[in-house]
Structure 1
Amino acid sequence: MAPPTPLPFSAEFANADEYVDSLLLYCGASTVFQTLCGGVHILDFFTREPSLYHTVIPAEWRSWLMARESMNLLDFLMRDDLDHPRQDNPPESLLKYIRDIRKYSLRRNVSPRQEKSKKLPRHIAVGMIPKKIHEVGNFADYVVRVADDVSSTTGREITHFVDFGSGQNYLGRTLASPPYNKHIIAVESKELNINGAKSMDVLAGVAEREKVMRNKKLYRAQQDAQTPQEKLDEKALRRVARPQPPPLDPDAVDMRPSKDLATIYTPVDGKGYIQYVEHVVQDGDLSDVVEQIEKMKMAAPAGNLQVVSTDTEKSQLPEILDKISKTKDTRLMAISIHSCGNLSHHGIRSLLLNPSVQAIAIVGCCYNLMTERLGPPTYKLPRLRANLRAINAPRVTREAAACDPHGFPMSKKVSTFNGEGVRLNITARMMAVQAPQNWTEKESDAFFTRHFYRALLQKVFLDRGVVSKMKQDDDEDEGGSGLESTEPVIIGSLRKGCYSSFKNYVRGALEKLNNDPERSKMVGEKMKDMTDEEIDEYGRRYEGLKKELSVTWSLMAFSAGVVESLIVTDRWLYLKEHADVVEDCWVEAVFDYQQSPRNLVVVGIKR
C-alpha cells in the first residue's frame, strides 16, 4: 500500500533524508524565501515610502516582474520550462529562486497506482458540492484500502474508523453505507453539526427517525398557531377558521416537531453503523472516546439493540450494555479530511497515545489556525527581527514560556534544527493555504483588487490617525532594525458591490466598522469628514502601484508551497521518529489538486 518513496519529493533528491536535510537548510538560509513567507503583510504595503515592493523584492527582479502580465507571470513561476531559453531574459537569480521553490515543494499529482473512486449514490451525496463529492469518494476508497492492507499484513481487522472533526459527517456516512459498511465513530465538538448530520443519516438510510402516533388535525393546528398569519397558505387559513376541539387527554398526544424526534441507529451484522461523540479534541488522547466505543460495541446480535439520541433513552443504557458482547477487541483507524490547525496534530498523535489506534490517515488544512510550539504567536519571522537573534535575551526567555506543546513543529528534527528550531509565523502559515496553480485570470484580478483596496484603506487609516505606526516588540530595547508596522484593523468580507470601486469599498468598510461598538466612536471621529473626492484621489494616486502588490502576492503564494511542504514533512518526521511504535508512515496526494488543493495525506501504521 505504501508508495515507492515515503514523501513525494522531487527526483533531484536521492532519498527522503537528503530531501529533509536540504529543505531545512534552505528554509533557514534563504532570506528572500523567509521574507516572502512571513516577512510581508499586505496591510503594510502602502504605509511606507516607497512601497514594500521596493523593500522585499530584490532590485534586479523588479522591472522584469513588473513587465509581465498576471497569468504570464503565474505560468512562469509554476508551469514554464525554465531550461528552455527565453527571449525576455529573466534575471538569473530569479530563475534560481523559482527552481529552488519548485524543487523543495512536494509533488501534488495523484499516483496512477491509486484506483478511481466509486461514484457516490445520490442519497449518500445529498448536501455535497462537487468538490466534497470528489474528496469523500476518493478518501473513502483510500482509507478502506489502507485498513484492508493493515488487516492482511497483521491479521488484525480494523473495527472502527474514528473521524476527527466529522462536521456534517459526509465521510462517515459514506463509509457506513454499502459497499463499505464500516463502523464509524464521528467525533465532533458542535452539537448543531451533529444534529444536522443525523438528519442526513435518515435520508441516506443509515438511521431511522423515531415513529410516533399523531392526531394529524391537532398537529397541523399547532403548527398553524406557531406560524404568522401572513405566511399561512389557503389550506392553513381554512383550518384556522375551523379550530379543532382540544384533546381529552393532552398528554396522550405527541406534538413534538419532526426535528425533535430521536434518531435511531440499529446495529446489524454486516452493515455499517454510526456513533456520534460530542467531544472537544484538545490532544491525541482518545481514552474518553474509546470508553464510549467499548460501551456501544457492535457485536450484539442483529435486532437486539436500538441506540437513540434522546436523554430519556439514555436512562436505559445499563440494560443495553448488559446485552452487548465484550469479546471483540477494539482496533481503531483515525481519519480526517481537512482537519483544521492543531486538530491534525491531535489525529496524528493519537497513533502513539492510544493502544487501540492501529492506523491513521489525516489530510490537514487551515495551517493559519495552528499554534506555535517554540514560542508565542508571531507576525514576523524571528530571523527578520534583530532582537530575537540574541538567544539569551530576557524577553525571549519570558516568551518561551508561552509556547504551545500541541503546535508546530511536531518533530524533534524540525524543532531543534540549527539549535533554535524552525518557526513559521501566522502570515507564512496563512499563505500556505493558497492555491496559485488554480488561479484564473478573472479570479486573480478579483482578489488582487480586494487586497489592493484593503492595503490602500490602511494607508488612509494611517493618514487620518485611525491607526499609528509601531515598532516591533523590543526593537528599541535591543537596538533593533526599526521595522515598523501598523495596528491591524479587522474588516472581514463586504458585500459584492463594495468591490466595484475604492470609494464604495471605503464606505462599505466604514459602515461595517461603525456597527462595531468598540471601534465605531474612534473610527467615526477620524473619518467623518472624509469626502468622496478625497477617497477617489487616493485611488487615482495609488492605482499604478496595484501591479506591485499583485506581483508580490503572486510570489508569496508561489513560495508558500514550500511552507506547506515543511509542515507536512514535519508531521511525517514526527511519526518516523517514533519507530518503536510506528511500523510505517508516508505522505502522498489523494485528491486532484485542481479540485482540492489541500490534498496531501499523512498515513501512519502501528507496529
Structure 2
Amino acid sequence: MPVECPLPVSPDFGNAEAYVESLLSFVTSSELFQTLCGGVHILDFLTKEPDLYSTALPQDWRVWLQLHDVPAILDLLMKEDGDLLDFLKSSIDTLSAEKKGTNSTWRSGPCPPTSLLEYIQAIRSYALNRDFRPLDASTAPSPAGSGLLPRHVAVGMNPKKIHEVENFVKYINGLTAEIDTTDHHKITHIVDFGSGQNYLGRALASSPYNKQVIALESKKLNIKGAKVMDITAGLAEKEKILRNKKQYRMGLRSPNPDPDASQLGNVQLNSSSLAPVNGKSHGSFNQANPDESKGRVQYIESFIQDGDLSKVVHQTKCAPTAPHVITNSDPQLMVISLHSCGNLLHHGLRSLILNPSVKAVAMVGCCYNLMTERLGPPTYKLPSLRSFNLRLDATSSTYDPHGFPMSERLATYQHHHGQGIRLNITARMMAVQAPENWTATDCESFFTRHFYRALLQRILLDRGVVDKPTEDGDIASGSPRGWTGAGPALTIGSLRKASYISFIVYVRGAIAKLADDQERGAEIQRRMEGLTDEDISHYDQKFREKKKELSIIWSLMAFSASVVESIIVVDRWLYLKEQAEVRNCWVETVFDYKQSPRNLVVVGIKE
C-alpha cells in the first residue's frame, strides 16, 4: 500500500528529499548530537578528568537542569507540547522584560535555555513519525472475519507478540493483495527471514489468510518447537507410529540393546518431513486437508549469510504444493521479517536485488547494535569524550560489506569532517531504547543499575584493575564498541535483581562474577582483597550526587538516539531507492509504539 510520502516525516520538510538532506546536514554538523550519540559512555562518567558531565553539556544547560528532577526533564524532552516550546523560545527572545517576569517560566521556575529548546525541537523534527493507525476493512483488503488471532494460532505468544503478529499479518495480506492487483507479480510464497518459533508464519498460513510460507531459521531447536505448535494450530497432524509390540518389547529387554531396536517394526504415518534438497528442509504441511487453497509452512534450516536465496528457491520448486504434486514453475516470493536483528535485515533487503524470484520485501528491524560496519574508522577527528581502547578500535575496522551504511548516499556523503556517515555501537545501542515508554519504576531501576556500574568502574580504576582513561580518547577511534576504559574489557553481564538492593551487595556480586573470569579472575580477586563494606559505602556517599547527573546524560542520550534510528531506517530506504530494479519503496509504521517501539517497516517492490 504505497503511501503519499515514502518516509513518515514532519510536514515541515515538504518532501522526503528535503528531510534527508537536512537530516544528514544535522548529524554531521551538530557537535552536541555527536557527543550524545556515541561521543560519551557511561563507564567513563566517574573516571574521566575533567568531569564528563561538565564537559559534555553547556554550562547554562547544567545550571537549569539542576533545578528540576529527572521525571520533569524527561517530560520536557518528550511530552511537552510543541507549541509551548515555541512559546517559551519566543518569549525568551522577544518578550519585554515585564512580560518575561510573568509569562516566561516553566513549572514555576525559569525557562529552559534557548539552545536546549532548539536542540529538543531539532531532535523531535528529525525523529521519524511513529504514530500508528491500525488497518481495517476500509484501509486495506482483509479476509472476512479476520480479527483477533484465534486462540490455537496465538499459542505461546505474549501480549506484545500478539499485537505485532495481528497487525503485521493484516499488513502483509493487504500488501500482497495490492501487489497482485496493481503489479505484474503474483506472490506465491512468503519467506520469513529468521522465523524463530514461527509465530508470524503460522498466523499467515492459518485461516483466514492461508498463505504459503517458507520459514528460514538457523536453529534446529526453534524449528522443532515451531512444528509442535503447528500441530496445535491445525497446520500439521501429529506423527503417528504403529509398532510391532512383540519386537518392540524384545528390543527393550535385550541385555545389550541395539540403539535402533526400539524402532523395530515401526511404521510412520503422516510424516511432516521433507527429504533435504541442497540443504536441510522440513515441511509442516496440512496433511489432513490437501486442499491447495489452505496455507502451509515449509521450514528450511539455514544460516543466512547474505541475500542469495537460490537454494531456497530450488527447494521451494521441489516442495509439494499438494500431496504427490511437483511443480517446476518459478515461485514469486515476498521476503518479510518481524524484528530481524542487525545485518539480517540487510540480507533481506538485498535479496530483492539478488534473486529474480523475489518480487517484494517488507521488513521490520531491531537490535541495531548487532549491525557490522562497512566504512571502518574515519581518518578525521570528531567531537568525542570517549576513552581510546585497542579492542574498540580493532572491531570498528572490519570494513564488512554487509554492514552499515547500505546506501551509497550515506557511504559517500561529503561533510566538513570528511566522507561517509558512521554510527558507533554506543549510538546504535541507544537507538533501541524507548524513552517515551519509560515509567517511573523503569527509570529508577536502570538509572540505579547504570550508576552502580559506573561507580564500580571507579573502584576498579582506583584499585588498578582497569587503567586510567587516556587523553587520546579525544581522537575519534571510528566506531568504538562496548565499554571504553583502557586495557582488557571486563564484562559483568546480568546480576540477580536482589544484587541491586544496595551498592555494597552489588559490588560483592559483581566481584564474585568477575573472579570467575578464566583469564583475569585471580588477578581481579587479588586486587580487590581488603575492600571492606565501609570502603564501598564511602564511594557510594562520595559520588551519590553524581547519580542525577548520570541520569540526565543517559536521558539525553536515549532521547537523541531516536534520530540514530531515523538514520538507520533512512539508509535502508535509500538503498532500495538507489536500485534500478526497485519500482517503489517506502517506510511506514505497523505497530503501536507503546506496544512495540521498533515499529517501522521498510517496503520495496520490484519492477
TM-score, with structure 2 as normaliser: 0.84
Q: Taking every aligned residue pair, what percent have the same amino acid on both sides?
A: 56
For residue 290 of structure 1, the aligned residue among 305, 313, 320 is 313
Q: Specify the alignment match of 2:410 in structure 1.
A: 414
Q: CA, structure 1 residues 77+220, in 2 after alignment: closer, same or farther (shift >3 Å)?
A: farther
Q: Specify the alignment match of 1:128 in structure 2.
A: 157
* Mapped pair 1:174 → 2:203: yes
Q: Specify the alignment match of 2:470 in structure 1.
A: 471
Q: Specify the alignment match of 1:154 in structure 2.
A: 183
Q: Structure 1 stretches of 5 or more lacking a match?
A: 226-248, 306-322, 388-396, 479-483
CA contact (8 A) 1:38 1:381 kept: no
For residue 116 of structure 2, the aligned residue among 94, 111, 117 is 94
1:494-533 paired onto structure 2 within 5 Å: 494-533=495-534
Q: Specify the alignment match of 1:245 in structure 2.
A: none
Shift, 1:216, TM fit: 8.7
Q: Specify the alignment match of 2:15 in structure 1.
A: 15
Q: Which sits farther off after the overlay, 416-425 or 495-504?
A: 416-425
Shift, 1:283, TM fit: 1.0
Matched residue of 1:530: which SS? coil
Q: CA, structure 1 residues 135+398, in 2 after alignment: closer, same or farther (shift >3 Å)?
A: closer
CA distance in 2, matches of 1:219, 1:400: 59
CA distance in 2, matches of 1:329, 1:458: 58
Q: Specify the alignment match of 2:277 in structure 1.
A: none
**Given residue 566 of structure 2, which amino acid in structure 1 is its aligned partner?**
S
1:210-256, Cα deviation, whole Å (9 max, x unpaired): 10125899999999x9xxxxxxxxxxxxxxxxxxxxxxx96546599
Q: Which sits farther off after the overlay, 107-116 or 492-501?
A: 107-116
Shift, 1:84, TM fit: 3.8
Q: CA, structure 1 residues 563+474, in 2 after alignment: closer, same or farther (shift >3 Å)?
A: closer
Q: Which sits farther off after the overlay, 71-80 or 116-125?
A: 116-125
Matched residue of 1:212: which SS? strand
1:400-411 paired onto structure 2 within 5 Å: 402-411=398-407
Shift, 1:288, TM fit: 1.5
**Given residue 346 of structure 1, which amino acid in structure 2 is its aligned partner?**
H
Q: Specify the alignment match of 2:125 in structure 1.
A: 103
Q: CA, structure 1 residues 368+221, in 2 after alignment: closer, same or farther (shift >3 Å)?
A: farther
Q: CA, structure 1 residues 216+140, in 2 after alignment: closer, same or farther (shift >3 Å)?
A: farther
**Given residue 407 of structure 2, which amino acid in structure 1 is its aligned partner?**
S
Q: Specify the alignment match of 1:232 in structure 2.
A: none
Q: CA, structure 1 residues 167+382, in 2 after alignment: closer, same or farther (shift >3 Å)?
A: farther
Q: Specify the alignment match of 1:570 in structure 2.
A: 571
1:75-129, Cα deviation, whole Å (9 max, x unpaired): 1001102124443311000000000000100000114666597201111111100
Q: Specify the alignment match of 2:100 in structure 1.
A: none
Shift, 1:402, TM fit: 3.3
Q: CA, structure 1 residues 400+467, in 2 after alignment: closer, same or farther (shift >3 Å)?
A: closer
CA contact (8 A) 1:381 1:424 kept: no
**Given residue 220 of structure 2, which amino acid in structure 1 is its aligned partner?**
E
Q: CA, structure 1 residues 457+196, in 2 after alignment: closer, same or farther (shift >3 Å)?
A: same
For residue 86 of structure 2, the aligned residue among 78, 83, 99 is 83
CA distance in 1, matches of 2:436, 2:249: 54
1:509-551, Cα deviation, whole Å (9 max, x unpaired): 1111222222211110111211111011111111111000000
Shift, 1:11, TM fit: 1.2
Matched residue of 1:603: which SS? strand
* Mapped pair 1:119 → 2:140: no
1:511-590 paired onto structure 2 within 5 Å: 511-578=512-579, 580-590=580-590
* Mapped pair 1:184 → 2:186: no
Matched residue of 1:281: which SS? coil
* Mapped pair 1:446 → 2:449: no
Q: Specify the alignment match of 2:101 in structure 1.
A: none
CA distance in 2, matches of 1:173, 1:516: 42
Q: Structure 2 stretches of 5 or more lacking a match?
A: 89-104, 141-145, 254-260, 274-281, 387-392, 478-483
Q: CA, structure 1 residues 250+137, in 2 after alignment: closer, same or farther (shift >3 Å)?
A: closer
Q: CA, structure 1 residues 324+514, in 2 after alignment: closer, same or farther (shift >3 Å)?
A: same
CA contact (8 A) 2:45 2:51 kept: yes
**Given residue 542 of structure 1, which amino acid in structure 2 is its aligned partner?**
F
For residue 324 of structure 1, the aligned residue among 314, 317, 326 is 326
CA contact (8 A) 2:336 2:348 kept: yes
CA contact (8 A) 1:44 1:486 kept: no
List structure 1 segments (4+ residues) > 3 angstroms apart after TM superposition: 84-87, 111-117, 214-223, 249-256, 259-264, 397-402, 470-478, 484-488
CA contact (8 A) 2:405 2:421 kept: yes
CA distance in 1, matches of 2:533, 2:154: 49
